């Protein structure tokens, strides 16, 4: 048995490489061919957004919600997180820093409690390092020098129960 290439058929098929057809039920008066083509190409951004929302980039894993209200709330939180991530990405593109790298560098930001004689206190923000300063500047964020001190307990690593209570 011998394998041969049908050169004329291969050349004919290769003429259509990279070509595709977009079919729509919209009338031409509703949208031009160019608009339809551009919106089709925009779908890649939508697909990327969903991949971003459902992967470790946002650390948002599927949660099982029981009511329509909770489902809407979950979708809202995921989309807000995506919008924040997208803005960080846009702001930091000129710095050649990924969102993950930038957030890691910003973890160095901290506050120091300053106590004043007589019982008052405030939270002083030390001058950020060079990398954090550049990231904040790209976002047009100016940190205050100090914050009022409140006695609020903040827990950021709370473990969720492995099983939820039935409703």
Half-sphere exposure of 39 (CA within 13 A, CB side): 10
pLDDT at 138: 96
Sketch the domain layout of the chain as residue ranges: 20-54, 64-115+123-147
0.95 exceeded by pTM: no
pLDDT at site 165: 62
Question: Would you place residue 57 in the very low, low, confident or very high pLDDT band (cuts 50, 70, 90)?
Answer: low
Beta carbons within 8 Å of 44's beta carbon, 6+ residues apart: none
Per-residue tokens: 113? 């409690």
Residue-level pLDDT at 131: 93
Q: Which residue has the higher pLDDT, 166 or 34?
A: 34
- Contact (CB, 8 A) for 109 and 135: no
pLDDT tens digits along 110-143 = 888 888 788 778 888 888 999 999 999 999 999 9
What pLDDT, on the 0 to 100 scale, is given for residue 44?
81
């Amino acid at each position: 048995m011998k394998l041969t290439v049908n050169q004329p058929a291969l050349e004919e098929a290769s003429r259509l490489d990279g070509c595709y057809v977009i079919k729509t039920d919209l009338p031409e008066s509703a949208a031009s061919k160019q608009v339809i083509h551009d919106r089709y190409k925009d779908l890649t951004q939508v697909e990327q957004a969903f991949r971003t929302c459902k992967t470790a980039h946002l650390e948002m894993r599927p949660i099982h919600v029981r009511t329509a209200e909770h489902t809407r709330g979950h979708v809202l939180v995921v989309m807000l997180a995506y919008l924040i991530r997208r803005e960080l990405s846009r702001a930091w593109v000129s710095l050649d820093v990924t969102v993950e790298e930038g957030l890691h560098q910003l973890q160095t930001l901290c506050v120091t409690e300053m106590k004043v004689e007589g019982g008052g206190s405030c939270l002083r923000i030390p001058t950020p390092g060079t990398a954090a300063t550049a990231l904040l500047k790209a976002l047009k964020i100016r940190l205050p020098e100090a914050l009022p001190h409140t006695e609020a307990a903040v827990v950021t690593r709370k473990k969720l129960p492995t099983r939820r209570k039935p409703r």
